[in-house]
A and B are shown apart, each in its own frame.
Chain A
Amino acid sequence: AQSVTQLGSHVSVSEGALVLLRCNYSSSVPPYLFWYVQYPNQGLQLLLKYTSAATLVKGINGFEAEFKKSETSFHLTKPSAHMSDAAEYFCAVSRNQFYFGTGTSLTVIP
């Protein structure tokens, strides 16, 4: 069975500070992993994806994530938060279908 756990439903950071959003997965085989961002009343925008190539994946808007098989994690990071990063973030694992985490709401404090 597949599942995704996002630790921390709400994360607040100061503008310019490091952003760290946590995602752990359970999968019997190496999965395909995704991070999406969702702004209010909008659809999902793909930030980055892991497809069993490089374990450190760089995405859009300065985000990156590292696949760690030993920790079954795929945490999302950004070195310096910007006000425009305030949004909802979803981690997902894909096999035949997508399994989404519960989401993390990121607040950026000026």
Chain B
Amino acid sequence: GAVVSQHPSWVICKSGTSVKIECRSLDFQATTMFWYRQFPKQSLMLMATSNEGSKATYEQGVEKDKFLINHASLTLSTLTVTSAHPEDSSFYICSARPGWPSSYEQYFGPGTRLTVT
């Protein structure tokens, strides 16, 4: 149980285009979803927290107009990288937290490798 999927797992796009990444909780309802970014050989950096039906809360330094997050249902959150540039190339990981029974645990997706050319 507690499986989180991400789609796509790997994407290449041209500079200036937008890319959407989906994060789905497959067998539980996620009241909260998180988006992380990971640069090579570094730890995960929390980008934003989203609750179903609410606006996402972005961490300091993360451009909310560039990284659009939508958490439209209890099983789906999307991250759209708008007007992508090469510096946006990174590994993006989502996680989902069920409201019950464990509010302290997160289940992580397999990640999406974004390369902007």
Contacts and interface: CB of A to CB of B under 8 A. Distances in A.
A102 interface: yes
A63 interface: no
A100 interface: yes
Interface in B16-43: 34, 41-43
Interface of B: 6, 34, 41-44, 46, 49, 91, 93, 95, 104-106, 108-111, 113
Contacts of B42: 102-103
B113 A41 contact: yes
Contacts of A46: 108
Contacts of A51: 104
Contacts of A102: 42-43
B113 to A, nearest CB: 6
Contact of B110 (A42, A90, A97, A101): A42
A49 B105 contact: yes
Q: How many of chain A's residues touch chain B, expressed as a range? A: 10 to 19
Nearest to B38: A38
A36 B91 CA distance: 17
Nearest to B10: A41
B43 A97 contact: no
A100 B43 contact: yes
B43 A101 contact: yes
Interface in A33-86: 36, 41-44, 46, 49, 51
Contact of B105 (A32, A42, A90, A100): A32
Nearest to B109: A43
Contacts of A42: 110-111
A49 B113 CA distance: 27
Q: Which of A36, A46, A98, A101 has the most CB of B within 10 A?
A: A98
Given A42-B110, A43-B93, A43-B110, A94 B43 contact: no
